[in-house]
């Protein structure tokens, strides 16, 4: 008991030094004059909260509680039957979603955005989950894809479907050029350098005005046509309007639904690709590299080529997602691709469990959907992401890094 009080006293002292100035004082520089105001109530509240937290932790050390909740969680997440069924139900819901009566423009728009992030989360999980390389600059390829399409469409009049192969080629080439040298780096250096790469891309987008339209971004990006058969763009020559083409009444929802279904199709393709990769010999090679690079090489795995392969595939997925993003928004600017964007995608992968396809979907719904639907959360969003990353690393890193289901099992047949 005495020891606990001493610990609490120490915590109180340090917490006071940490919390009181930053939480109790508020700076404001109103038209050049620095003003400082106090908010002692806020400081004391947080101080009390910190102490209460510390006391709870100290008490919980004294009375270890049974880990029932944790077990229940694991049963849900790790049970193959469960997650397969949950996945199937989700796919059915996702396909039916745009046609449900209560779905309005806003919800559909958010759902489309979520799908973009789900696809990117799966793409990044090739790098982070399978190969075990922390890519902090994933938004770079998202940006390259978005800009490649936007510039081709706006400045050169290409259609979405004609530009898509170019987007893929540009991302592939970019990943080969950048990935070749940097994939040789050690894990933590690789992470920082990818972050630097994303910053270089973003700063170039801002400053290379003659190519990229500069900090104001690209506007007037056309919507994708219905595979070259009909269009949603008003006044576009050559193609019939979608509603006329089908002979139905005009409804702006049609365009949103089409966009949603496009993204859904893309996400499902990525899902199949990830599933195939995991079960294929490439999946084994990726995982072997993650588990032990040296031993992987000793088993005949070409480390540099396999890493590059994963990097290129992840880049292409991000690039296509970027093109869809640009087409959906009709507008892109360099600020859509700041480092936070990479961190958001990383959070989705980490929170979703680095190998789990279903986990990424749930994480994307929580991390993207909630703040979009409840605007009042939006300003706390990044705060919560940051905290969540730390807490997950403390509580369940094994669940994310190593808690995996075998992709191959040997069936024992008695003969």
Partner 1 sequence: MALLNVENLSMVFGGLVAVDGVSFRAEEGKITSVIGPNGAGKTTLFNCITGFYRPTSGKIICRTHGRDFDLTGMAGHHIVRQAGIARTFQNIRLFPAMTVYENMLVAEHGRISALATLNPKRYAHEVAKSRALARSWLERMDLFPYANSRADALPYGIQRRVEIARALCTSPTLLCLDEPAAGLNHTESEGLAKLLLRITKEFNVSILLIEHDMQVVMNISDHIVVLDYGRRIAEGTASEVSMNPDVIKAYLGEDAHAA
Partner 2 sequence: MEYLLQQLINGVTLGAIYGLIALGYTMVYGVLGMINFAHGEIYMIGAFLSLMGFALLGALGLPVAVVILLVLLAAMIITGAWGWSLERLAYRPLRGSPRLVPLISAIGMSIFLQNLVQLLQGARVKTMPPMINGGVEVMQRASDGFTVTISYTQILLWVVTVVLVSIFAYLIQNTSLGRAQRAVSQDAVMAEYLGINSNRTISITFIIAAMLAAVAGCMVMLYYGVVDFYIGFLAGMKAFTAAVLGGIGSLPGALLGGLLIGLIESLWSAYFSIEYKDVVAFIVLFLVLLIKPSGFFGRPSVEKV
Binding residues for partner 1 (CB under 8 A):
280-282, 284-285, 287-288, 291-292, 294-303, 401-402, 404, 406-410, 412
Q: Which residue lies nearer to partner 2 by CB, 69 or 186?
A: 186
Q: Is 29 left (phi over 0), alpha (psi -120 to 50) or beta?
A: beta
Residue 194 C-beta: closest distance to partner 1, Å: 24
| From the list partner 2, partner 1, none, partner contacted by residue 37 (C-beta under 5 to 8 A by kind) | none
Of residues 204 through 223, those in contact with partner 2 by CB under 8 A are 204, 206-207
CA dihedral 164, 165, 167, 170 (to 10 degrees): 180
Output the smallest distance, CB 250 to partner 2, in A. Answer: 42
Residue 201: CB atoms within 10 Å:
22
32 sits near partner 2 (criterion: CB under 8 A): yes
Report, in Å, the least distance between residue 284 CB and partner 1: 5
Nearer to partner 1, 274 or 288 (CB): 288
Options 240, 265, 304, 397; binder of partner 2; rule CB under 8 A:
397
Q: How far apart are CA 21 and CA 19, in angstroms?
A: 6
Pick 264 or 349: Cβ nearer partner 2 = 349
Closest CA to 315 of 162, 133, 154, 155: 133
- Smallest gap, in angstroms, from Cβ of residue 276 to partner 1? 10
Beta-bridge partners for 383: none
How many angstroms separate the Cα of 8 from the Cα of each of 16, 22, 41, 44, 56?
Answer: 12, 21, 21, 16, 11
Joined tokens for residue 92: 């059915």
Residue 307's SS3 state is helix
CB 57 within 8 A of CB 4: no
Residues near partner 2, by CB under 8 A: 14-15, 17-18, 21-23, 25-29, 32, 34-36, 132, 134, 136, 181-182, 184-189, 191-193, 195-197, 199-200, 203-204, 206-207, 294, 339-340, 343, 346, 350, 379-380, 382-383, 385-390, 393-394, 397, 401
């Amino acid at each position: 008991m005495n020891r606990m009080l001493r610990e609490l006293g120490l915590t109180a002292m340090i917490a006071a030094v940490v919390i009181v100035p930053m939480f109790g004082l508020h700076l404001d520089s109103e038209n050049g004059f620095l003003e400082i105001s106090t908010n002692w109530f806020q400081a004391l509240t947080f101080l009390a909260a910190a102490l209460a937290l510390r006391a709870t932790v100290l008490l919980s050390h004294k009375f270890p509680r049974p880990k029932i909740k944790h077990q229940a969680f694991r049963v849900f997440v790790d049970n193959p039957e469960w997650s397969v069924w949950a996945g199937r139900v989700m796919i059915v819901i996702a396909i039916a979603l745009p046609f449900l009566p209560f779905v309005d423009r806003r919800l559909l728009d958010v759902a489309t955005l979520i799908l973009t992030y789900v696809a990117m989360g799966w793409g990044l999980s090739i790098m982070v989950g399978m190969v075990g390389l922390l890519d902090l600059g994933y938004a770079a390829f998202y940006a390259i894809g978005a800009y490649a399409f936007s510039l081709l469409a706006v400045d050169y009049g290409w259609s979405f479907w004609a530009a898509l192969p170019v987007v893929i080629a540009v991302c592939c080439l970019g990943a080969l050029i950048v990935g070749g040298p940097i994939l040789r780096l050690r894990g933590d250096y690789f992470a920082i350098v990818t972050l630097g790469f994303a910053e270089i891309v973003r700063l170039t987008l801002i400053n290379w005005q003659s190519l990229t339209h500069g900090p104001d971004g690209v506007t007037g990006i056309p919507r994708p046509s219905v595979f070259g058969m009909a269009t949603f763009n008003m006044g576009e020559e050559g193609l019939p309007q979608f509603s006329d083409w089908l002979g139905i009444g005009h409804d702006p929802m049609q365009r949103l639904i089409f966009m949603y279904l496009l993204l859904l199709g893309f996400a499902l393709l990525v899902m199949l690709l990830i599933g195939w990769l995991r079960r294929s010999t490439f999946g084994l090679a990726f995982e072997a590299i993650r588990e032990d690079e040296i031993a992987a090489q000793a088993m005949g795995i070409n480390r540099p080529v396999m890493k590059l392969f994963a990097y290129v595939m992840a880049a292409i997925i991000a690039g296509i997602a970027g093109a869809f993003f640009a087409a959906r928004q009709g507008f892109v600017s360099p600020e859509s691709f700041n480092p936070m964007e990479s961190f958001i995608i990383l959070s989705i992968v980490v929170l979703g469990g680095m190998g789990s396809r279903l986990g990424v979907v749930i994480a994307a719904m929580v991390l993207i959907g909630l703040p979009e639907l409840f605007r009042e959360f939006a300003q706390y969003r990044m705060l919560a992401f940051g905290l969540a990353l730390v807490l997950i690393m403390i509580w369940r890193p094994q669940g994310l890094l190593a808690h995996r289901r075998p992709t191959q099992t040997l069936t024992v047949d008695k003969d």
